[in-house]
């Protein structure tokens, strides 16, 4: 079925129809820039009328923001502390949950990180930043860090950026086993902490707690 071939309409509840429109929007926004997706594209993909999309969302920018909020809420629901083992084991378990979302909701993940249409950058930025703050707090809990030093804070945020980039790269190429990528990112965390430990006592103590390597 092509994008211009509209499936037969079905009678759906208000919430279910809205969910289907959001799912169709995420699929399209995840595959190309928002500026290149039209309301007609979304309506066709969802098997709905153009007027119905406007009825629910008012316009493409409102639909885009609603779709990103949906993706963010789904991802944030996965970001829960594990707390069942050693910090590195908990970090690995958290990464597995994160990549469960990346793999199962590829379009939503891609749309969330691609950036929004002109005029809504602030609103889209708040959504993405909210997910990053939640992930940062999760890592703090996993690492048993109450209040990170400036060096440690910058290190953890750098690692989050690496995870996001790795997720997008993996979705684009799929030429590495997911488990291998997750192990790589756990080792990347310890490597970053190794550099930070040379500049910050708290990072050195955290590295020792994670790996058993004594601060130098």
* pLDDT at position 174: 95
Q: Which two tokens stand for residue 113?
A: 């990180």
Half-sphere exposure for 4 (CA within 13 Å, toward CB): 0
129: its two tokens: 């930043």
Per residue in 104-133, is it b (16+ CB within 10 Å) or e — as a string? Answer: ebbbbbbbbbbebbeebeeebeebbeebee
The rounded distance, in Å, linking the Cα atoms of 62 and 56 is 9
Please, are residues 134 and 153 in contact by the beta-carbon 8 Å criterion?
A: no
Q: What is the pLDDT of residues 5-37, one digit of tens each?
A: 444 455 568 889 999 999 999 999 988 888 889
Q: Return the CA Rg of the chain.
A: 20
- In whole angstroms, give the CA distance from residue 136 to residue 130: 10
pTM over 0.85: no
Name the strand (E) or helix (H) holding 47. Answer: none
C-alpha separations of 180 from 105, 108, 153, 165, 186 in Å? 20, 23, 26, 15, 10
d(CA 126, CA 97): 23
Which percentage of the chain shows pLDDT scores above 70? Answer: 88
Q: How far is CA 50 from CA 21, 132, 214, in A?
A: 11, 34, 63
Q: d(Cα 158, Cα 13) in Å, to the nearest integer?
A: 43
Tell me the percentage of the chain whose pLDDT exceeds 90.
60
> How do residues 80-94 score in pLDDT, each as one tens digit?
766 667 888 888 888
State how far the Cα of 211 lies from the Cα of 187, in Å rounded to an integer. 11
Mean pLDDT of 187-204: 96
For tokens 């969330």, the residue is 112
What are the Cα distances from residue 64, in Å, to 40, 46, 83, 159, 183? 14, 15, 35, 27, 33
- Asked if residue 193 lies in contact with residue 91, where contact means CB atoms within 8 angstroms, the answer is no
């Amino acid at each position: 079925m092509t994008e211009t071939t509209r499936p037969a309409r079905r009678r759906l509840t208000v919430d279910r129809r809205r969910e289907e429109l959001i799912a169709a929007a995420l699929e399209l926004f995840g595959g190309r820039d928002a500026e290149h997706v039209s309301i007609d594209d979304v309506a066709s993909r969802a098997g709905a009328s153009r007027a119905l999309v406007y009825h629910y969302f008012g316009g493409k920018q409102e639909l885009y923001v609603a779709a990103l909020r949906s993706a963010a809420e789904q991802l944030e629901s996965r970001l829960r502390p594990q707390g069942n083992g050693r910090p590195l084991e908990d970090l690995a378990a958290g990464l597995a949950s994160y990549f469960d979302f990346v793999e199962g909701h590829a379009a939503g993940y891609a749309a969330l990180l691609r950036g929004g249409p002109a005029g809504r950058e602030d609103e889209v930025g708040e959504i993405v930043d909210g997910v990053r703050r939640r992930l940062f707090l999760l890592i703090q809990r996993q690492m048993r860090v109450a209040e990170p030093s400036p060096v440690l804070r910058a290190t953890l945020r750098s690692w989050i950026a690496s995870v996001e980039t790795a997720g997008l790269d993996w979705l684009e190429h799929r030429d590495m086993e997911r488990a291998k990528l997750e192990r790589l990112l756990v080792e990347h965390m310890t490597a970053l902490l190794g550099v930070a430990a040379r500049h910050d006592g708290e990072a050195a103590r955290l590295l020792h707690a994670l790996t058993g390597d004594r601060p130098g």
